[in-house]
């Protein structure tokens, strides 16, 4: 059982602009991540398919996978990190699993995820606005 002091400290570090239901596994997202090089800071985009999300208040993460020059690259992002600027959902995927680890074994056309049809994506967007 967590004490009230720990819950209070955790709640102060949570991002207010993050909606946990804004994206789900199977969606293609673009994460704008701030990178510090020396004294300069720049923003780098990482675009790929969300293959899993882990729950938790402050320790929630999501994994994004992309194929870059024929090599699969996965990156785990903390959901409540102050290092990213935004997360843009580019397309919604129609998948029936919560963890898409099977994409690691597939390549080419077999690794594509079918896009949701218009009606389903509008229902999902309406549900996201209600929450």
Confidence of residue 129 (pLDDT cuts 50, 70, 90): low
Nearest Cα to Cα of residue 34 among 47, 19, 23, 45? 45
Higher pLDDT, 18 or 75: 75
Q: What is the predicted pLDDT for the residue at 119? A: 56
Q: What is the predicted pLDDT for the residue at 118? A: 64
Full-model pTM: 0.78
Round to whole Å and give the CA distance between 62 and 26: 12
Q: Which CATH number fits domain 4-130: 1.10.1070.20, 3.90.1150.10, 2.40.10.10, 2.30.30.790?
A: 2.30.30.790
24-32 mean pLDDT: 93
17-26 mean pLDDT: 80
Round to whole Å and give the CA distance between 1 and 10: 14
């Amino acid at each position: 059982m967590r004490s009230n002091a720990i819950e209070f400290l955790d709640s102060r570090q949570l991002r207010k602009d993050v909606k946990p239901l804004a994206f789900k596994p199977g969606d293609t997202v673009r994460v704008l991540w701030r990178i510090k090089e020396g004294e300069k800071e720049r923003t780098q985009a990482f675009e790929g398919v969300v293959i899993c999300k882990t729950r938790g208040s402050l320790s929630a993460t999501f994994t994004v996978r992309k194929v870059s020059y024929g090599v699969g690259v996965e990156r785990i992002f903390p959901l409540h990190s102050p290092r990213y600027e935004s997360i843009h959902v580019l397309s919604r995927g129609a998948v029936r699993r919560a963890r898409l680890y099977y994409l690691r074994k597939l390549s080419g056309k077999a690794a594509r995820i079918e896009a949701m049809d218009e009606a389903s994506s509008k229902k999902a967007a309406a549900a996201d606005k209600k929450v």
